[in-house]
Chain A
């Protein structure tokens, strides 16, 4: 029996051991990421709902359901340490879009939110850390309509 062929069983055993260790380490790591994602998402949903409750009182009525989405549902390696959640709802209002923006500003700025640069008259964004709130005018006719999107994204 040559020296090389005697080494084959050792190589096979060592390779199996290394593979087993890699699989265990990866599964522990991915499980830890999953738990961390669940934690930050739960906290973000809690904070997002508190924010929505804060902005509930305004001269507008909802014209569709509050849509909430979060993810990534099935994260790949690039998204392994990411989490996001979004709330979207459209409203109709007899007040103007600028009045709605002003109302959001008065409620958000005391909490540390910052109004972004006006991209155009029909769209305004407020930001705070990982959070952003975007107001988009959908129609200027009376009653006017607008869409509000609250978005949170984090790389943990």
Chain B
């Protein structure tokens, strides 16, 4: 009898995790709210650049906005001055508008040399929003430094979003993702780790490292330009690029390492992944189920091994807590002459009586003596030793329930 992998045993939802999830959700939405001023500024920048209409303004008065802070000792005042002008202009419809401002950023970080020559009585160009002419500027300057502010709400969103995801994951019982109906038995197990996935990840890592190295090389080259005004990357990013050669070199070295690993693994992606099917995906300790494995060709391996694995707090290189060999063959060959010829076999697997149940994440609060304290994962592991140094490994996850059979 097959067990529906989407059904979960009746468990009480740990309310403390959901309560924490609510708090994290609140902070996540606060982070979202932090995006509002940045989006508004982006909209204003777009309108200033593309929609605002040009006119000529008469400066009525310069009223700079001063702000500062007192520093100890000596209560020294360090003021900063932002330009702000009261000016009057006529719209294309003939309406005379008096307003105040300087640029789309309230004069923040406006270059002093740009505005200190403007004084009352001057005639200067201005740009106004046709939908609301009181929104007018004397400078269409774009300030990319402002968008560094995005880091704050995005950081909050990413951090609280990950915590929220973890809370929700802990609140829900473990399920198998990507499981399909089997052809021979009830369920075909999804691959959680395979040669192709690893090679793909290495490829992405190579691409990212190349991108980073190129960006850092450009940035470092940019700093070599002797005339400051041509250091456009430094100007756009808002910080000094001196010494970034080292970062570029490091990124290139890491990229080279990834590239080597990618190329070493690339030749093995043509080896077909095995198909593993079982009759039950949520087994109880002491329970057994039928296993069917199909290995399509062409594949020639020094050895071919299928095991039932239980990893407790599994880390790479650490031997699994339980390893029961189901099938092992040396000088394995599948379809050496004709592509598509497959090797199939069936077996009965049994979960040990003393097995710990699957636990993808340890609950934040231990609610009882039987509460899980370790991360436990059960796999059908297929190991194909294709050369003296290379063993291709594919893991197919199964679930083991908390109650005894």
Contacts and interface: CB of A to CB of B under 8 A. Distances in A.
Interface size class on chain B is under 10
A39 B59 CA distance: 12
B63 A38 contact: yes
Nearest to B62: A42
Nearest to B65: A35
Nearest to A43: B98
Contacts of B63: 38, 42
Contacts of B88: 43, 46
Nearest to A46: B60
Interface in B64-94: 86, 88
Contacts of B86: 38-39, 42-43, 46
Interface residues of A, number: 8
A35 B61 CA distance: 13
Nearest to B59: A46
Contacts of A40: 98
A13 to B, nearest CB: 12
Contacts of A43: 60, 86, 88, 98
A135 B378 CA distance: 98
A38 B60 contact: no
A70 to B, nearest CB: 13
A40 B60 CA distance: 11
Interface of A: 35, 38-40, 42-43, 45-46
Interface of B: 60-61, 63, 86, 88, 98-100
12 contacts: A38-B100, A39-B98, A39-B99, A39-B100, A42-B60, A42-B63, A42-B86, A42-B100, A43-B60, A43-B88, A46-B86, A46-B88
Given A35-B100, A38-B63, A43-B86, 14 more contacts: A38-B86, A38-B100, A39-B86, A39-B98, A39-B100, A40-B98, A42-B63, A42-B86, A42-B100, A43-B60, A43-B88, A43-B98, A46-B61, A46-B86
